[in-house]
Amino acid sequence: MKLRSIFDCCFKPGLTAALFVLPGFVKAQDAFKEFPDLFTTPYSYVAKHVKQAPVIDGNVEDAVWQQAKWSQDFQDIEGNLKPQPPLQTNVKMLWDDNYLYVAARIKDPHVWATLTHHDDIVYKDNDFELFIDPNSSTHNYFEIEVNALNTIFDLFLTKPYRNNGAAVTGWDAHGLRSAVKVQGTLNNPSDTDKGWTVEMAIPFKAIAGGFNRAVIKDGTVWRINFSRVEYDTKVQNGKYVKLQDKSGRDLPEHNWVWSNQGLINMHYPERWGYLLFSNNEANDLKFEMPYAEQQKKYLWLVYYKQKQWFKDHHEYLTSLKDLGIENKVTVSGNDNELKLEATTHQFMAHITDSKTNATYTIDQDGLVQQQLIPKLHE
């Protein structure tokens, strides 16, 4: 996905004054309403464990895949701010002890692709993309892109671009297997196609990369999202070409995603959906939001407010009161305490469950971590 949008695109003009001119506290739930597009609940998917692996040949309708449900239709990356995409996209997932299996169904009457070399910038074609954050930390995450020629662009990101993260394009998902099947013809404007399908087998050992050594097991949760890049085209001299504006530049691509980001930027990992790995064979498995993820919501509230203040004033605030956030909050019926440590150019916010001492932190780079603090016996 093209990197066109960074931090300031998620705030509305005049927001700073609204946040900080009022003295005293505001209720936390009211504070969340000031960022409505960043606090919608992400989608979730429960992936079943399978004993027989699907054959990676681009056929997403075989017997093994019948065990998995198709996801919701993809939506615009901004969610309800934009109309529903005119072309349907869906994904489904399965897993075994060694691989995450992904299938994608991409409806498209005009299937085309041009890039053929590994690690070409595949999003310059229409493509299908997936993003994985195994630790839900928003750092050290993975991206894999593929076009209709089955050309792979895989990369590792140390942290999001908004936090000056680096994209390591030299990283390869060793052992990745992928296949594409076109329902129609490729690069042939003379007919109408149905679309194309993608299959991937992603090795857990490749995604681990030294940052997520835990064994994937029943109940493991990852953050994950999927994106489809789609360009507007016309036929010229028997070939598909991208539409351009009056200055001769390609028109911006459409970004259609599984779980909406709330802004035009895939590199907000905290906005990705949830993938639950399950051994349960039932067909109606439900995902329950982990308590820790509910705690982290308050950390992101601190983060977004701090970043907006810093954007305008070039320093961070040093108290929750100045941010308009209470230090006592209730998470799923449990009492929690928020704390903030800050200097001019750094901060760390903590949230702690009053009974269990379960503590998570976030810093100015958006790194979310669990702090193991023993509970003192009274």
pLDDT beyond 80 at 372: no
Confidence (pLDDT) at 30 = 74
- CATH 2.60.40.1190 maps onto the chain at 43-278
pLDDT beyond 60 at 355: yes
User: Token match 């129609």: residue?
Assistant: 184
Express each pLDDT in 58-74 by its tens digit: 999 999 999 999 999 99
Give the whole-angstrom CA distance, residue 182 versus residue 267. Answer: 29
Confidence (pLDDT) at 140 = 97
For residue 169, give both structure tokens: 């394009």
Task: Collapse the DSSP code of 26 into the 3-class scheme (helix H, G, I; strand E, B; otherwise coil) and give the result.
Answer: strand
- Least confident stretch, 17-31, 244-258, 270-284: 17-31
Q: Quick one: DSSP state of residue 203?
A: E
Give the whole-angstrom CA distance, residue 119 versus residue 152. Answer: 6
pLDDT beyond 90 at 47: yes
Confidence (pLDDT) at 31 = 76
Task: Using pLDDT thresholds of 50, 70 and 90, give the confidence band for residue 378.
Answer: very low
Q: What is the mean pLDDT of residues 260-264?
A: 98
Confidence (pLDDT) at 281 = 78
Confidence (pLDDT) at 13 = 36
Q: What is the mean pLDDT of residues 185-190?
A: 98
pLDDT beyond 50 at 188: yes
Confidence (pLDDT) at 270 = 99
Express each pLDDT in 122-179 by its tens digit: 999 999 999 999 999 999 999 999 999 999 999 999 999 999 999 999 999 999 999 9
Give the whole-angstrom CA distance, residue 155 versus residue 205. Answer: 15
Confidence (pLDDT) at 54 = 98
Mean pLDDT of the chain: 91
Q: Fold for domain 43-278?
A: Immunoglobulin-like (2.60.40)
User: Distance of alpha carbon 125 from its chain centroid, rounded?
Assistant: 20
Q: What is the mean pLDDT of residues 40-56?
A: 97
